[in-house]
Structure 1
């Protein structure tokens, strides 16, 4: 296991964004999810912006903008981010515009990320979701470079909703090599086992987006933990 891999449950929880981004999540389901978060002891929860604000109970709040397609105008993403921060978000995960990426409009990609960065000033955290499964290696590298240069704190593999798929070891490794140690890598999308977590950490992930957190913790610890409500993430 690499130096990134946690050696305890507490370490794992410290780098996990416990996630509920299902579009049909009701207020009751959100309440159940937050109760699960308290029981599990996670440090962060990731929720849709429409359900904010929520009681933090000592946790940090992550939310998404331009989600899930990324095909929103940059000014709209920046407004979403400003509103989310006003509603208590500590971290913003923005979806990159895939059309700009596929057109190799790197100035456009960078400008959009920079606009959201301006709406999310430090010490707030900005992550850029690139949908790595839908990109070539060259596109992954260039998009990560634009995110790094625009001041993002993390690059993130996926929304978990793209038909091309979620996180892969190859993408995480390539992203980590591209951005270097100053920028984190969040692996998300389809990570459902403790072994998958270990693989992502070994590849260079420094943050995880998980919906099946309880099941993974149970496998990690080798003990039974009741499963949390599935988020579809």
Structure 2
């Protein structure tokens, strides 16, 4: 059964970002990710070093910066990214400054992403835009901004706002992002059928805490 869902699992950032998560919870997450061969685990920054020591080079470690609101300073985000890399992170998911975007300052958002990408270097940078807070015009604008910024992915959601990924948003991203930018759908992916549809619409990664559990239940 695991083999049947290998494509979905291989696209999953197996995620646990709840504030009450303990190291034992993260260790279990890592064990599941190793067993089910997910793309990575996405975990809070405070557990990155322990997770890296626990899994060695057998699993990608992803963490978050400017999370979940995105309105910390650029300098803070750069520091968080550098600290995460020094602790062993392979991938960084950053939240944009949504207020700056809505204030008509896309250049600020673009330069902030560039600063974080410069810090991350060859490691993967995914940019969370929190689609449920944006208009369609702002989503299209962010496709252009991220395509110009050097980031590797556009990501729909933190999973901590009022709504998460939608099929419509992933299809919109697929239409407007540059060919070098990949898509991560995250937040509220509740079924294996939904996961398959997000991939068919153009997502390359899925941010979810449920997929491994759903495969286990199968």
| TM-score bracket for the superposition, by shorter chain length | over 0.9
SS at match of 1:52: helix
Within the candidate set 2, 6, 21, 2:17 is matched to: 21
CA distance in 2, matches of 1:202, 1:93: 22
> What does the per-residue CA deviation read over 1:158-213, in whole Å, with 9 as the maximum and x for residues that have no partner?
000012x0000111111111113311000000001011112212221111111012
Name the TM-score, length of structure 1 as normaliser: 0.86
State the match for 2:153 in structure 1: 154
Name the TM-score, length of structure 2 as normaliser: 0.92
CA distance in 1, matches of 2:34, 2:203: 24
The alignment of Structure 1 onto Structure 2 pairs a total of residues equal to 212
CA distance in 2, matches of 1:109, 1:41: 34
CA distance in 2, matches of 1:14, 1:36: 13
Q: What runs of 5+ residues in structure 1 fail to find an aligned partner?
A: 1-6, 219-223, 226-233
Please show how residues 1-150 of structure 1 align to structure 2 within 5 Å.
8-53=4-49, 54=51, 55-57=54-56, 58-122=58-122, 124-150=123-149
Q: Is the 8 A contact 1:193 1:215 kept in 2?
A: no
Give the aligned CA root-mean-square deviation in angstroms.
Answer: 1.5
Structure 1 stretches of 4+ with a deviation exceeding 3 A read none
CA distance in 1, matches of 2:13, 2:31: 15
State the match for 1:228 in structure 2: none
Greater fraction helix: 2
Within the candidate set 208, 211, 216, 1:210 is matched to: 208
